[in-house]
Amino acid sequence: MEHNTTKSRRAFLYQLSMAGLSIPLAAAALADEQTLQNMRQKKDGKLGIALVGLGGYAGGQLAPALQQTEHCYLAGIVTGTPSKIPAWKEKYNIPDKNIYNYDNYDSIKDNPDIDIIYIVLPNSMHAEYTVRGFAAGKHVICEKPMALTVADCDKMIAASKKAGKHLSIGYRLHFEPHNLEMMRLGTKKVYGDIKKIAAGFGFVIGDPTQWRLKKDLAGGGPMQDLGIYCVQGLCYTTGMVPISVTAQEGPKTIPDKFKEVEQSLKWQFEMPNGLMADGHASYNDNMNYLRADAEKGSFELSPAYNYGRLKGKTPEGPMNFENINQQARQMDGIALSMMKNQPSIVPGEMGRRDVKLITSVYEAMATGKKIKIS
């Protein structure tokens, strides 16, 4: 690999000189490095991903999806639980040199097999592990919500810029055909202007001891975990970002379970054109919809946010899209943008926007006031 790299570097510099390009040496070396990195022949031409945090989402969705991806593959793991290692090693054929823990995580910088670090840890850990990932010189995909505060999002974006590496958020629905259709129908005004729009996501959460119910780790309750999908849906279907919000916390019917976080909440975004967009998230009710009423009829998804079997309808009848592996499509899409050095369609800036919106919803809920979103 090193040999090939050196050879390609020479070939690249030779091509530059043959092309008569008078690029200063330092700039040429930088361009050389970048191009080589983009073109580097990895395992079957794929970028290597290391999953950080081997919980339900990493093990149940991302690792299996990485067996189907064309542009990236599961190259490594980072875990604080050594007992998980043997099963992962065996199932996914991961070499020892690509297995890390949280203490030696930073030394991943010396591992050329890993191009992308994918943070799948509890929400409060996203910022730290993303910033460390960039310090190690890797691209980062970070799960939603990007972080708990806008200040942390700013640090993550600054770290990405400093490293010259891409930051993407794990917004899988931007790669999913039904949700892409909602974006098209809404933003292209296929059925005219949207007059009313609503999104709701909820389920009955189990284990009362899990981190999702702990404020310091989750940052809040269903708003952080599920409401974020509604925030996304309301923005991508309208193509607008809200300018103000009001919100109301739902009753705590199981106060013991929801000691630290809200059990449910509703909120109302005001869009720049005056449209009101309603959101609802709950850890104790089942709902899963994204519905828009436009001048010439309604279009909707229900379920809207699951990993598969989404159903949509428009004034012309049911939507008819294949159910794809969302995570495989998402990681391939992101890997391709990284390889081509093109902007991500789910960049850190979008994650930051949503953290700001969530923070505003919480502020509106806590104060009972209409909060302006600047």
Please, what is the minimum distance in Å from the beta carbon of residue 307 to ligand NAD? 7
Q: How many residues contact ligand NAD, by CB under 6 A? A: 19
Strands laid side by side in the 139-142 sheet: 99-100, 72-78, 47-52, 116-119, 139-142, 167-169
Is 233 a binding residue for ligand NAD by CB under 6 A? The answer is: no
Instruction: Rank residues 12 and 203 by Cβ distance to ligand NAD and give the closer one.
Output: 203
Alpha helices, H only, the chain:
2-18, 25-39, 56-57, 63-65, 85-92, 126-135, 150-163, 177-187, 215-218, 222, 228-238, 326-339, 348-367
Task: Tell me how far apart the alpha carbons of residues 29 and 24 are, in angstroms, rounded to a whole number.
Answer: 9
Task: Tell me how far apart the alpha carbons of residues 280 and 133 are, in angstroms, rounded to a whole number.
Answer: 34
Is 64 a binding residue for ligand NAD by CB under 6 A? The answer is: no
Is 122 a binding residue for ligand NAD by CB under 6 A? The answer is: yes
Please, what is the minimum distance in Å from the beta carbon of residue 94 to ligand NAD? 16
Other C-beta atoms closer than 10 Å to the C-beta of 19 total: 9
Nearest in space to 347 (alpha carbons), one of 197, 180, 165, 181: 165
Q: Would residue 362 show up in a list of annotated catalytic residues for this protein? A: no
CA 19 → CA 9, 13, 205, 308, distances in Å? Answer: 15, 10, 62, 50
Candidate segments 32-40, 51-59, 108-116, 188-196, binder of ligand NAD by CB under 6 A = 51-59
Is 217 a binding residue for ligand NAD by CB under 6 A? The answer is: yes
Please, what is the minimum distance in Å from the beta carbon of residue 144 to ligand NAD? 6
Is 101 a binding residue for ligand NAD by CB under 6 A? The answer is: no
Candidate segments 48-56, 108-116, 277-285, 361-369, binder of ligand NAD by CB under 6 A = 48-56
Instruction: Rank residues 99 and 276 by Cβ distance to ligand NAD and give the closer one.
Output: 99
Nearest in space to 156 (alpha carbons), one of 164, 167, 145: 167
Q: Would residue 102 show up in a list of annotated catalytic residues for this protein? A: no
Using the rule CB under 6 A, which residue among 170, 250, 303, 348 binds ligand NAD? 170
Please, what is the minimum distance in Å from the beta carbon of residue 337 to ligand NAD? 18
Task: Tell me how far apart the alpha carbons of residues 210 and 55 are, in angstroms, rounded to a whole number.
Answer: 12
Please, what is the minimum distance in Å from the beta carbon of residue 222 to ligand NAD? 11
**What would the two tokens of residue 127 be?**
């910022």
Torsions phi, psi for 105 (to 5 deg): -50, -45
Using an 8 Å Cβ cutoff, are 75 and 113 in contact?
Answer: yes
Using CB atoms, what's the residue nearest to ligand NAD? Answer: 55
DSSP annotation of 44 reads G
Is 331 a binding residue for ligand NAD by CB under 6 A? The answer is: no
Is 221 a binding residue for ligand NAD by CB under 6 A? The answer is: no
Instruction: Rank residues 12 and 57 by Cβ distance to ligand NAD and give the closer one.
Output: 57
Is 272 a binding residue for ligand NAD by CB under 6 A? The answer is: no
Is 137 a binding residue for ligand NAD by CB under 6 A? The answer is: no
Is 206 a binding residue for ligand NAD by CB under 6 A? The answer is: no
**Catalytic, out of 229, 236, 283, 362:** 229
Other C-beta atoms closer than 10 Å to the C-beta of 317 total: 8
Point out the residues that are catalytic: 144, 229
Residues near ligand NAD, by CB under 6 A = 53-58, 80-81, 120-123, 143-144, 170, 172, 211, 217, 225
